Amino acid sequence: MGLKKEIIPLKNWIIVGIIEAIFIAISLGLWDYFKGEELYYFRYIVQGVLFAFIMSFMFFKYKIVEEKEEKNASRFWYITRRI
């Protein structure tokens, strides 16, 4: 059995991108808040969305799965060969 790459559906890319964008925007906002700096909400949203889009586009494209062997086909070949 070997491994093969399958393309992840666009819906999953979007869901992961949204989760990453929210996490990045909140973490950047908290960073500035605890440093005592002024909060720039638009900056957090833009950075979160752009970074999440780039990350999901570049690194979340394929998943590695094992190839499934068709047991019925090999069994059929074995049975017909014996006849």
Model's pTM, two decimal places?
0.62
Of 56, 54, 49, 57, whose CA–CA distance to 28 is shortest? 49
Q: Do 13 and 60 form a contact (C-beta atoms < 8 A)?
A: yes
For 24-65, the pLDDT digits (tens) are 889 989 999 999 999 888 988 888 888 888 887 777 777 777
Sign of CA dihedral 48, 54, 58, 62: positive
Sign of CA dihedral 60, 66, 72, 78: positive
Of 70, 67, 48, whose CA–CA distance to 6 is shortest? 67
- Which residues are bridge partners to 4 per DSSP? 65
Given a cut of 70, whether residue 72 has pLDDT beyond it is no
